[in-house]
Structure 1
Amino acid sequence: MKVLDITEFFSPVGGGVRTYLEAKARWFSAHGAVEHVILVPGPEDRVTDWYGSRMYAVRGPAVPASPGYRFMIAGRKVREIIEQERPDVIELGSPFLAARHVRRAVRGMAPRPKLVAFYHCDAKKVYVDFGLRRLPAALRRIAGARFERYLQEVYGEMDLVLAASLGARESLERLGLQRAITVPLGVDLEIFRPERRDPRWKAEVGAVDGQPVLLYCGRLSADKGLEPVLAGLPELHRLTGAKLVLIGEGHLRRRLEALAKARPGMLAVLPFEPDRCRLARAYASADCYVAPFPMETFGLSAVEAMACGLPLIAVDRGSVAEFTRQAPWARQYRVGDSSDFVRAAREILSSDPNLLGRQAAAAARQSFSWRSTFEALYRTYLELVDGLYDAK
C-alpha cells in the first residue's frame, strides 16, 4: 500500500504537523508495510529521503510572518507527482491550495485513490474568527459562512476525515460532516520522559538557584494565545519569582527578545530546537508547561511536556482543555484573562510540582503513544482501500 501525505502546514522550523509527519515517516519505515510519500511546499523543487519516506518539495513563496511556511502554488507540478506516484491513499493535511490540487489530480484517475483529510487546524476559528477579528462583526459572519461552505465542499469530497480530538471532531460534525473519526496523536515515549531532566539546563537559560521556570514551545505568533501569559508574567514574577522560557520562531520574536533583554530574570527567548532529545531535556528540566492556544486541535507540545513530567497551565478552550479539565496535574485559566493565568500558575507552583509531574507523565504513557496512533491509521487505510469501511 502506498500513502501520500500532502500539506501546506509544514515548516522546517517547527509545528505540530511536521512532528506528526516525522513520527509517521519513522513508524512506516520501521514497520515496512507502507510505501510513504510526502509532498510539501519548499524553497525549491527537490526530492529527498526523509526518515525513510520519499519527500517531494515543490517551490512556493514564503507565507508572511510565518517562519518556514510556504504557499503551495505549483499546481501542475503537484498533479504530476500525484499521477506519477499513483498512491492508494492520499491524506490531505491542509484545506487550501493543496486541496484544490488534489481534487484536480484525482479526477479521471483509475483507480481513484482513497481521499482522507486530517483536520489539523480549526481553520475557521484561526483564519476568520481570529484572523479577521478587526473587521466588523457583520463582515466576519459573512466571511465565516462562506468559509464554512468551502470547508464543507472540500471535506465533503473526502472518503473519511480524521480528527485528533473530540472537540475537533465536533467541529466537523457541526459542518454536517458525518464521515469523521477520532484518531488521537501521540508522543515518542522513548525520547520524551522525565529521565531527561538535567539540573544544568536552568542555569543555561539564566535561572538562579531555586527559581521556578515555566516553559512554552511553539510558534511565537499572535494567534497562539501568548498575550495573556505575557500580560500576567510581571505579576507572577513578582509573587513567585518565576521565569518564563519561550522556545520557537515567529513574528513576535523581535518584540519578545527586547522584553527578555530588559527583564532577563523574568523571560528568556530561545530559538527553535530541531533536536528532539535536546527538546526533551528542556521539557524535563522546567517546572511546568504553559499551553495557551485556545484553538488547538490536539496540543502535541503539551503532551510532550506531560510525558517529560511537567504539570500543565492550560487555557480553558481547545483540545488541551479536554484532557486537563479534571486532571489533578493541571490547572486551567479563562481564555484572555491574565489575572486568571497568574492564579492558575501560582496554584501549580505552590503545589508539589514533582508529584504533579509524575501524575502527568503517567497520564501521557497511558493515553498517548505514536504506536496507537499509527496502528489505528494503518487499519483505517486498509479498510478504505479494501472497501470495508464503506460497508460500516
Structure 2
Amino acid sequence: MSQLVIVDYNNFWSPSGGGVRRYHLERMKYYKNHPDALLVFVQNDGKTYTEKVSDSLIIEHTKAFRFPGNWEYRFLWRQIDLKPAIAKYKPDIIEVGSPYILPKAIEKACEGCPKKPILTAFWHADFPVTYVRRFFEKWGFPRFAKKAESLAFAYARSSFKKYAKIEASSHEVMDRIQANGFKPEQLEWIPLGVDLETFHPEARDETLVQELKDGDPNRLTIFFPHRFCDEKGLRLFLEAYPILCKELESEPAVLFAGTGPDLPLVEEAAKKYKHIRYEGFIKSTAEMARHYASVDMGLALSGWETFGLSILESLACGDALVAASTGAALEHLRESGAGVLLEERTPQALAQAIVKISKMDMAQLKQKSVEYAKKFSWQSCFERQFAMYQKLVQR
C-alpha cells in the first residue's frame, strides 16, 4: 500500500500559539512514524528550507509576512509560496486550518494539477461569531453584528464550497455551522485530545505549591496560560482580581504564562500585586503540566472556543474551572461537572464564580476533572481523522 500524502497549510500557526500550535505539534508527533502516510506541514516561517524529520514527516518552512506587534503570526497567500509543496509532493489530501483567503488561494493553487488533491479544512476558529459578530457587539452595534455574522458565514460557505470535509471538534460549533447553511455530509466531528502521559495530577510540584501559597494553605491558586487578549478574558480577570482580594480571606495567587497584545497589562499587574507572577512563554509541555497540576483552578473565559485544548489540559491535571457559558468551555464544564459557569461576563460575576469555587469540595472537583479528561486522547483523534482521509480517497 502506497503512502497517503497529506499537506497542511495554516495561517493560524504561531511558534508561541496555543491550541492550534498544540494541534499541529501533536499531529506531527502522530505521523512521525506512521507507516501508511506522509505528512508535509507547510510551516509559516522567517526563511524557506526543507526539514525532513522522518520518512513520514516533512516540514516545509516557508518565508511568510509577519504581523507587527506582540503577535508572532505569519501569513501565506501568494501562489508562488503555496504551489511548491503541492507540485513537489502531489498530495492526496490538503488540509487548510484558517478561513481567511487561504481556502480559495489553495483551491487556485491546485488548478492544473495532473492529480487533483481532495480539499479538507479544520474549523479551528469559529470566526463568524468570535471575530466578526463579537467585534461589532463590542463597539455597540448589536443589530449590525448579527448581519455581519451572516455575511461571514456566507463568505465561509463560498470559501469552502469545493472542500470535501469541514472538521470541527465541538458539537455546539458543528450545530452552528450546519444551521448556517453547510450540508451535514460536509461536516465531520473530530474531537481533539490531551497528552495524558504528560498532563496529570502527579505533575504537581510541591515547591511551586508552597511558593504560591506563601505561608497560607487556604490561599486560592490560579493558572492563566492563555493568549493575552480580550477574547480570552484577560482584562475581565484583571478587573475581577481586586474584587477577589477583598472577597477572599487572602489574596489569590495567580500565575500568568504566554504572550499577546495585552502583555503590558500582565506585566503591570505583576508589579502591582505581590501574588501575581508572570512566567513568560512556556514552551515545554512538562512545564505546562507542572504549572497546571500545582494550582487549584483554571479559567476558561473565552466563549468562542472550538474545542479548548488548554481547558482539557487543565482538567487532566485536576483543576477546577470557571468556564464561559457558551462554546466548548460550556460543553466541557457541562459534561465534566468540574466547576462553575460564568453566567454574566462582568468582573463582579467572575469574582463571585471564583469565590463560589473556593468554597466547594476541591478534592471532588479534581476527581471529576481527571475522570472526564481520560475520555480524550490524541491517538484516537488522529486515528479518527486518518480513517476519514482514507474514506475520502477511496470513494
Counterpart-to-counterpart distance in 2, 1:206 and 1:378 = 45
Q: Is this contact kept in 1: 2:133–2:148, CA < 8 A?
A: no
Distance 1:110 1:175 in 2: 34
What are structure 2's unaligned runs of at least 5 residues? none
1:63 to 64, 67, 76: 67
Question: What is the DSSP-based 3-state SS (H/G/I as helix, E as strand, rest coil) of the residue aligned with 1:38?
Answer: strand
Matches within 5 A, 1:170-249: 170-178=175-183, 179-203=186-210, 207-210=214-217, 211-240=219-248, 241=250, 242-249=252-259
Residue 159 (structure 2) aligns with? 154
The list of structure 1 runs, each at least 4 consecutive aligned residues, that deviate by more than 3 angstroms after superposition, is 49-52, 135-146, 202-209
SS in 2 for 1:234: helix
The code of the aligned residue for 1:190 comes to: E
Identity over the aligned pairs, expressed in percent?
26
Is the Cα–Cα contact under 8 Å of residues 14 and 272 in structure 1 kept in the other structure?
Answer: no
Worse overlay, 49-58 or 239-248? 49-58
Q: Matches of residues 254-333 of structure 1 in structure 2 within 5 Å?
A: 254-265=264-275, 267-325=276-334, 327-333=336-342
Cα shift readout 1:156-176 (whole Å, capped 9, x = no counterpart):
211011100011111210221
User: For residues 109-144 of structure 1, what are the alpha-carbon distances to aligned partners after superposition, in whole Å with 9 as ceiling and x for unaligned?
Assistant: 232111111100011122212334427456545543
Distance 1:138 1:235 in 2: 33
C-alpha spacing 1:41/1:135, structure 2 compared with 1 (3 Å): farther
**Counterpart for residue 77 of structure 1:** 81
Q: Which range is displaced more, 286-295 or 171-180? A: 171-180
For this pair of structures, how many residues does the alignment match? Answer: 385
Q: 2-side partners of 1:173 and 1:328: how far apart?
A: 27
Which of 10, 14, 26 is the matching residue for 1:11?
14
Secondary structure of 2:75's partner? coil
**In the aligned structure 1, how far is the partner of 2:354 from the partner of 2:123?**
31
Distance in 2 (CA, whole Å) between partners of 1:301 and 1:49 is 29
CA shift in 2, pair 1:352/1:137, >3 Å:
closer
Secondary structure of 2:223's counterpart equals: strand
CA contact (8 A) 2:336 2:372 kept: no
Query: What CA distance in whole angstroms lies between the structure 2 residues aligned with 1:205 and 1:250?
Result: 24
* Residue 2 (str. 1) matches residue 41 (str. 2): no
Map of 2:37 onto structure 1: 34
Whole-Å Cα distance in 2 between the matches of residues 228 and 131 of structure 1? 16
Whole-Å Cα distance in 1 between the matches of residues 161 and 268 of structure 2? 46
Superposed displacement of residue 187, structure 1 = 0.4
TM-score normalised by L of structure 2: 0.92
Partner of 1:23: 26
For 1:185, give the aligned amino acid.
L
Partner of 2:168: 163
1:31 Cα deviation after fit: 3.3
RMSD: 2.0
Q: Distance in 2 between matches of 1:113 and 1:193?
A: 40
Q: Write out per-residue CA displacement over residues 329-380 of structure 1, whole angstroms, 9 at most, x where no aligned residue.
A: 2111124122222222122221222331122111100x21111101101110
Inter-CA distance 271–372: structure 2 relative to 1 (3 Å threshold):
same
CA gap of 1:50–1:175, structure 2 versus 1, over 3 A, is farther
Decide whether the 8 Å contact of 2:79 with 2:109 is kept in 1.
Answer: no
Determine the C-alpha separation between the residues in 2 that align with 1:135 and 1:48: 48
